[in-house]
Structure 1
Amino acid sequence: MRSAGHPHDDPAGDVVRWAAFSCLLVPVVLVVYGTSFGGAAVATLGLLAVTAACRVLLRHSEKNRRAAARVSAEKSLPPAHRGRHSRAGGGMHRGCRGSGPVSPHD
């Protein structure tokens, strides 16, 4: 079972775990129902190959999805503060009010 400290955030891992379980279960069922050990071994090797390929594709897809989410998040962030001496805000110095009237935007 999953511990309380490990959140359920890896659906690809769940799929791979179920596939590995099937790779163990299928040959047992095949032998019980009369398939030769050689036939069960070939079926197991085929299932392992398909499981490994699917695992690689799922991990690659997950990596691409995370990269796309990171790029999307970076685009939605406001521009970074340019530092102590940046000239933000139309030439007005921080803390100084102009002599003109105060607009509703100040």
Structure 2
Amino acid sequence: MSDVVRWAAFSCVLVPVVLVGYGTSLAGAAGTALGLAAVTGACRVLLRRSERGAARLLAEERCVERPRAEERAPYHGRHGRVGAGAHRGGRHAGGNTPVD
């Protein structure tokens, strides 16, 4: 962030100097410098707030723990089904009696 602030401060100084060099009044150049300084300050505040928010979100994501193995739902087979209502292989749900 310091590079951004340095470039902004540089432009706040350079732009009025260039304006005066091209014939703009000192008052106009001073007004432009104040406007650029105000915009730079607002951008700096917003950038800081954004960085803090991003750091906070990253810290929260790191703090969220994954469930332990015994707390996770059990996984069996290709389809991950287990328990009541699960089909456990075979083509038919019925018994082993032949069909006529």
Q: Give the letter aligned to residue 60 of structure 2.
A: V
After superposition, the C-alpha distances for 1:61-96 in whole angstroms (9 at most, x for unaligned) are 0000000010111115788xxxxxxxxx9xxxxxxx
1:20 to 2:9 alignment:
yes
SS of 2:64 mapped into structure 1: helix
Structure 2: give runs of 5+ residues left out of the alignment: 71-100
Structure 1's consecutive aligned runs of 4 or more residues displaced over 2 angstroms after TM superposition are 76-79
Q: CA deviation at 1:14?
A: 1.6
Q: CA deviation at 1:16?
A: 1.4
Q: Give the letter aligned to residue 36 of structure 2.
A: L
Work out which of the two has the higher radius of gyration on C-alpha atoms and give 1 or 2. Answer: 2
TM-score if structure 2 supplies the norm length?
Answer: 0.63
CA distance in structure 1 between the partners assigned to 2:60 and 2:47 by the alignment: 20
Partner residue, 2:79? none
Partner residue, 1:65? 54
How many residues were matched structurally? Answer: 69
Report sequence identity in percent. Answer: 58
Structure 1: give runs of 5+ residues left out of the alignment: 1-11, 80-88, 90-106
Query: In angstroms, what is the RMSD of aligned CA positions?
Result: 1.9
Point out which structure has higher relative CO (alpha carbons under 8 A, 6+ apart).
1
Partner residue, 2:38? 49
Q: Give the letter aligned to residue 5 of structure 2.
A: V
Matches within 5 A, 1:80-91: none
1:38 to 2:27 alignment:
yes
TM-score if structure 1 supplies the norm length?
Answer: 0.60
CA distance in structure 1 between the partners assigned to 2:66 and 2:48 by the alignment: 27
